[in-house]
Amino acid sequence: MKPKILKTFALLAPFAALLAAPAPAAAGTSCVDLRCSSSASWSDSSFGASYQLWAGMMTKKDFPTTTSYGADYLRLGADIYGTAKAFGVSKSIVDSYAMIYNNNGSATGKIQVATLGIVLYSASMSNKLELGWTRSFFKADDGISILGVSIDLDAEVGGELGVNVYPQFLDGVVSLQADPYVSAYADVDAHVGASCASVGVSGSLTALDLHVPASIGTTIPEDNSVHLMMALPYELHSLDGKLKVKLKYCLDEDSKTIVNFDGFSTSATLLSKWGSFSW
């Protein structure tokens, strides 16, 4: 086994710096054995965002009654899901994963990226790959009144999503660097039909910015044991910013804040491990 683990460490050596003590993470984060999950949501009546993530590795230990899984079963990688809300309309803006599966002597990789329930990419993976899309996720509208003047508001949530992967399959060893991500922002335009009136919107709003650059290398299980190197960091910035509508009406002017969030931001390590794991 020793030559195999040396190859694993060599593959992931550039990521050794990630194996630091875990930093404080978002509420709702938990780790069991070699896998971690995290989730949170923020919202008011008009705007909001949420995320769920899973990263790490599972073995036959996690599926003791699944007879189709052999003693060498592995599932490793990262998976993210996120939503955004604008003017009460909530949509799934990202649902992406990159995984390696090993079972009964065969190892395969799978990658999928979806948004709004639409699969943008789904295929097996065997080589380094970078996938990314810039999208207008969805639009919504609302209306407010300032100085008795009716104002129409149009919101658009847009940004980027994708996944970067680098899988490797060697004799007795598999490794995966996987970074599923999403960056979404909300913009609002205002329109007014009253004469001698003009209106504008100032500010910016980050809906959800999430990266999960997982790095995992492991030997194939033998005698209910593996040697591995794992680092599961993530970066999160959500629901942060302020949008204000400003109206000039003849000789008068006024403004109204339509959204104001202090935001949540963290850069944390969910789990890091270097060594052996047995069950």
**Residue range 260-276, pLDDT digits in tens:** 999 999 999 999 999 99
**pLDDT more than 70, % of the chain:** 90
Are 245 and 199 within 8 A, CB to CB?
A: yes
pLDDT band at 191 (very low <50, low <70, confident <90, very high): very high
pTM score, whole prediction:
0.88
Question: Out of 19-33, 112-126, 217-231, which region has the weakest mean confidence (pLDDT)?
Answer: 19-33
Instruction: Identify the helix (H) or strand (E) that includes residue 8.
Output: helix 2-12
pLDDT at position 28: 74
Please tell me the predicted confidence (pLDDT) of residue 83: 98
Query: For residue 217, is pLDDT > 50?
Result: yes
> Is residue 8's pLDDT more than 70?
no
How far apart are alpha carbons 154 and 137 in whole angstroms?
14
- In the predicted model, is pLDDT for residue 25 greater than 60? no
Contact, 49 vs 239, CB < 8 A? yes
Lookup: tokens for 57: 């590795």
User: What's the pLDDT tens digit per position in 49-60?
Assistant: 999 999 999 999
